[in-house]
C-alpha cells in the first residue's frame, strides 16, 4: 500500500470512529487526552473501530500495543509507523 | 385457538404500537419466531411468539396502538380446526397449550403475567377498529367499557360515552402516552424515569462491594487474544459476564423477580446487559443462557446483542427474560457503581474501571490493575449474607480465571 498522507490517515481514522460514534466531534477533542473516554467508546466500540481500521488500512493492532493508542495523536502516529515500517 | 397478545416489554410499558406484521393469515409460525415489530418507549422491538401453529387471523392492524395484554392475533394450534368449523370433540384441546418444553421456560412477562388491562380469562373484547382507534385517542381502556351492541360489542358511541363519564384522575398516575410524532428520546427517558423511580420507591436496596486485582484475568485475556485476529478477540466484559453467570448458579436467590409480594426465581441464567445508547438512553437486554456459552459463543452473543441494541432492533424476549442486570461503567472512567435495581429484578451487579492501584501481594506493595465490583440487592428477598456469598464467589472467579471455563 502506498504511504498515506497524514491528512488522509486522519480522515480514515475519523471515518472509522464516526462509524460507531456518529455524533463524535474529533476536532473538539482536547489534544493529548484519552479519546476513548471523551467519546464514550467502550471496549466493544473500540474493538469494532480496530476491526474497521484493519479493513481500511490492513493494519492489525495486537492487544499488547493498545497502550500506544490512548490519544488520537498516538493512534495516528502508531498507524503511520506501521504503514511505513 | 390461542391468542397472541401485546407483550409487556418492561416494568412500565402500558401499550405499544404494532408497526409491522411479518405474518399473514394461513402462515405457519414456530415457537420463537419473530412475527411482528412493535414500537415501544424503548424503540422498535422484534416480537417473538411462544406458541406455534397456523395464523388464523390478525386482530390488530399495522399502525394501531394497543394496551399490553390486548389480543394481536389468533393462532390455531396443530390439529385444531379453523374458526367456524366444528372441532371434533376428540381433537379439542383441553385448555391452553402449555409451553413446558422450552429450554427457557421463564415467565415471559413476570410483571404483567395476569394482563390486568385485559378482560376476564379467555374473554375477548368485541370492538371495531374505529372504536379501538377512538379509544386510543380518548385514552379509554376498552376493557373497562360495557358494550351496548350485539353480543356486547363496543361501539364508537360506547367509547365516547365512557370517555365523558370517565373519572378525572385514574387511581394510579398513568404514563402519558407518547403523542403522535413523539420524541423517541423523551419517551425512553420517561420509561427509565418510571422504572427507576419505582425501584427507589419500592425496593429496599442494600449495597456490597469488593476490590480485586484483575492482573490474572487480564493475563488470561491477553494470552487468549494473542492468538486471535482482531475480529475474533474477546473483550473483558465476556469474563465479567461469565463470572456473574457462574456465581448466580451458586446463589440463585439473586436471579429472578419480585412479583406479587414473593420472589420468583428465573429459570436459566439470562443476564441483562446495561447498554448506553448514543444520543442518550439505556437498554438492558438479556444475554440468554450466559452460563452455557464458551468464550467465543459468549463474545458472539454479546456482539450480536450490543449491535442490535444500538441499532434499535432488540427482541421481545431480550426485554423480558433477564433475571439480573450487569452494568459496566468502567469505560466511562468511574471507579465504582452503586446501582439501581431494574424492577422487578432483585439485584444488579456493577463494574467500575480497571485502574492501576497499590496492591499488597506476598507482603509487598505492588502496582496492580484493580477493579471494583458492586452488588445492589433487594433486601426483601435476600440479606447481606447471601449477597456477600455471591460477591465473594464472583471475585474468586475473576481472580482465578482458569476456573471460568474449566476444561
| Mean pLDDT of the residues in chain B | 83
The length of chain B in residues reads: 407
pLDDT value for B279 = 78
- DSSP state for residue B407 in the 8-state scheme: -
Report which DSSP code applies to A34: B
User: pLDDT tens digits for B152-164?
Assistant: 666 666 767 776 6
Q: Does the structure show a pLDDT above 80 at B104?
A: no
Residue A4 burial (10 A CB sphere; 0-12, 13-18, 19+): middle
pTM of the model: 0.77
Residue B194 is assigned to a structural domain of this protein: no
- Is residue B116 situated within a structural domain? no
B294 falls within a domain: yes
Closest residue to B226, CB basis, from A50, A51, A63: A63
Of the listed ranges A52-66, B96-110, B182-196, B335-349, the one predicted with least confidence: B96-110
A-facing residues of B in 255-284 (CB < 8 A) are 276, 278-279
Weakest mean pLDDT among B91-95, B286-290, B346-350, B395-399:
B91-95
Residue B390 dihedral angles phi and psi, to the nearest 5°: -60, -50
Is B137 inside any structural domain?
A: no
- Tell me: do B234 and B380 sit in the same domain: yes
Distances (CA, A) of B229 to A53, A59, B234: 13, 11, 10
Q: How many domains does chain B have?
A: 2
Contacts of B226 in chain A (CB under 8 A): 62-64
Confidence check: pLDDT of B387 > 70: yes
Give the best residue of A38, A42, A53 to mutate against chain B (max B CB count within 10 A).
A42
Q: How far apart are CA B402 and CA B400, in angstroms?
A: 6
- Domain final residue, candidates B77, B108, B130: B77
> How many angstroms separate the CA atoms of B167 and B171, rounded?
9
Calpha distance A39→B195 (Å, rounded)? 27
Chain A contact for B227 (CB, 8 A cutoff): no
pLDDT of the residue at B153: 65
Dihedral angle sign, alpha carbons of residues B343, B118, B37, A22: negative
Q: Answer with the one of B77, B94, B125 that is the final residue of a domain.
A: B77
Please tell me the least confidently modeled range out of B68-82, B94-108, B304-318. B94-108
Q: Residue B395 is part of a domain; what is its CATH number?
A: 3.30.559.10
pLDDT > 90 in chain B, percent: 63
In the block, residue with C-alpha cell 367509547: B159
In a domain? residue B155: no
Domain assignment of residue B386, given as a range: 205-403
Q: What is the pLDDT of residue B9?
A: 87
User: Residue B144 has which C-alpha cell?
Assistant: 373497562
Q: Are residues B217 and B72 in the same domain?
A: no
Do the domain assignments include residue B197?
A: no
CA closest to B219 among chain A residues = A64
Question: Measured between alpha carbons, how far is B376 from B25 in angstroms, rounded to an integer?
Answer: 47
Whether residue B110 lies inside any domain: the answer is no
Q: Which of B57, B77, B97 is the last residue of a domain?
A: B77
Whether residue A51 lies within 8 A of chain B, CB to CB, comes out as yes
Give me the CATH number covering residue B54.
2.40.50.100
Give pLDDT tens digits for B217-248: 999 999 999 989 999 999 999 999 999 999 99
pLDDT at residue number B372? 98
Amino acid at each position: 500500500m502506498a504511504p498515506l498522507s497524514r491528512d488522509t490517515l486522519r480522515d480514515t481514522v475519523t471515518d472509522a470512529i464516526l462509524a460507531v460514534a456518529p455524533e463524535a466531534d474529533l476536532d473538539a477533542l482536547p489534544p493529548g487526552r484519552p479519546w476513548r473516554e471523551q467519546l464514550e467508546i467502550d471496549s466493544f466500540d473500540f474493538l469494532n473501530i480496530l476491526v474497521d481500521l484493519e479493513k481500511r488500512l490492513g493494519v492489525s493492532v495486537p492487544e499488547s500495543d493498545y497502550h500506544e493508542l490512548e490519544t488520537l495523536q498516538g493512534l495516528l502516529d502508531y498507524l503511520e509507523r506501521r504503514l511505513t515500517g | 385457538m390461542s391468542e397472541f397478545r401485546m407483550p409487556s416489554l418492561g416494568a412500565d410499558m402500558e401499550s405499544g404500537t404494532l408497526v409491522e406484521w411479518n405474518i399473514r393469515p394461513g402462515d405457519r409460525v414456530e415457537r420463537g419466531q419473530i412475527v411482528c415489530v412493535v414500537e415501544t418507549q424503548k424503540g422498535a422491538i422484534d416480537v417473538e411468539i411462544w406458541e406455534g401453529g397456523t395464523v388464523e387471523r390478525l386482530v390488530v392492524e399495522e399502525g394501531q396502538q394497543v394496551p399490553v395484554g390486548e389480543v394481536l392475533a389468533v393462532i390455531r394450534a396443530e390439529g385444531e380446526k379453523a374458526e367456524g368449523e366444528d372441532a371434533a370433540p376428540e381433537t379439542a384441546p383441553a385448555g391452553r397449550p402449555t409451553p413446558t418444553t422450552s429450554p427457557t421456560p421463564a415467565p415471559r412477562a413476570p410483571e404483567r403475567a395476569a394482563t390486568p388491562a385485559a378482560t376476564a380469562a379467555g374473554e375477548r373484547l368485541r370492538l371495531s377498529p374505529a372504536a379501538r382507534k377512538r379509544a386510543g385517542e380518548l385514552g379509554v381502556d376498552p376493557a373497562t367499557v360495557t358494550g351496548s351492541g350485539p353480543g356486547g360489542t363496543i361501539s364508537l358511541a360506547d367509547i365516547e360515552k365512557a370517555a365523558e363519564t370517565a373519572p378525572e384522575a385514574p387511581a394510579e398516575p398513568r404514563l402519558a402516552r407518547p403523542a403522535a410524532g413523539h420524541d423517541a428520546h423523551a419517551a425512553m427517558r420517561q420509561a427509565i424515569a418510571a422504572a427507576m423511580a419505582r425501584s427507589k420507591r419500592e425496593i429496599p436496596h442494600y449495597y456490597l462491594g469488593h476490590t480485586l486485582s484483575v492482573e490474572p484475568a487480564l493475563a488470561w485475556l491477553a494470552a487468549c487474544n494473542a492468538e486471535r485476529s482482531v475480529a475474533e478477540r474477546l473483550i473483558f466484559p465476556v469474563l465479567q459476564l461469565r463470572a456473574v453467570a457462574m456465581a448466580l448458579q451458586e446463589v440463585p436467590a439473586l436471579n429472578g423477580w419480585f412479583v406479587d409480594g414473593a420472589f420468583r426465581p428465573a429459570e436459566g441464567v439470562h443476564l441483562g446487559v446495561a447498554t448506553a445508547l448514543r444520543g442518550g438512553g439505556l437498554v438492558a437486554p438479556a444475554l440468554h443462557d450466559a452460563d452455557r456459552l464458551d468464550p467465543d459463543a459468549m463474545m458472539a452473543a454479546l456482539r450480536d446483542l450490543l449491535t442490535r441494541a444500538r441499532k434499535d432492533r432488540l427482541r421481545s424476549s431480550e426485554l423480558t427474560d433477564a433475571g439480573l442486570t450487569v452494568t459496566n461503567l468502567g469505560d466511562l472512567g468511574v471507579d465504582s457503581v452503586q446501582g439501581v435495581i431494574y424492577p422487578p429484578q432483585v439485584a444488579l451487579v456493577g463494574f467500575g474501571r480497571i485502574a492501576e492501584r497499590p496492591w499488597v501481594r506476598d507482603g509487598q506493595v505492588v502496582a496492580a490493575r484493580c477493579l471494583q465490583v458492586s452488588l445492589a440487592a433487594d433486601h426483601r428477598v435476600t440479606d447481606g449474607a447471601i449477597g456477600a456469598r455471591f460477591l465473594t464467589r464472583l471475585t474468586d472467579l475473576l481472580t482465578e480465571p482458569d476456573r471460568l471455563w474449566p476444561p
